[in-house]
Structure 1
């Protein structure tokens, strides 16, 4: 089951910046790319590093650990050593807040 979860205030993420947040137990990075908000997994798929600590250049983020590149809007792995794409999350802006659609695990 998915749910829309408030992950950030839009005014807190300047254009070209990123904010790390925890959404329902998932560590995500919320990027402001040219005024459009994107959300991806915050953890690099190559080795454990927070992409929110990485270098942002336009629509790409460089992992701070081994300098692999990801395309922010799609999560696509763009250069070695990364080969596995990032998980991305749909986003929407509502009343100045950024929401991400997150899968909620139900305990049974």
Structure 2
């Protein structure tokens, strides 16, 4: 069963922006990539550090600690030193709220 939670108003997350939200599951980074919303767990699989403060290039987030790259769209690990993918979460917009499904 889905567990959709409100994370941010759609209007508060313009294209190119991101927001970290604390959920019962974990800290989740929500991104607006040209009008599409994506959510990833805010943890680098290389060393457990946070990711959301890293630079974004297209649909990639770059770990601010050691430079590993991950795909924001699907969580794939793209470069060393990270070899494991990061968790992603389904995202939808309902009544102007960006929601994340924690039960997927």
3-state DSSP of counterpart to 2:73: coil
**Normalized against structure 1, the TM-score is what?**
0.89
Q: Please report the TM-score for the alignment, with normalisation by the length of structure 2.
A: 0.92
Residues 1-108 of structure 1 mapped to structure 2, 5 A cutoff: 2-103=2-103
Deviation at 1:75, TM superposition (A): 0.2
Per-residue CA deviation, residues 59-98 of structure 1 (Å, 9 max, x unaligned), is: 1000111010000010000001111001000010011111
Q: Please provide the CA RMSD for this pair.
A: 1.5
**Distance in 2 (alpha carbons) for counterparts of 1:16 and 1:93:** 17
Residues matched between the structures, number: 104
Instruction: Could you tell me which runs of 5 or more consecutive residues in structure 1 were left unpaired when the two chains were aligned.
Output: none
Greater than 3 Å deviation, 4+ residue runs: none
Q: Distance in 2 between matches of 1:2 and 1:26?
A: 16
Q: What are the ranges of 5 or more consecutive residues in structure 2 without an aligned counterpart?
A: none
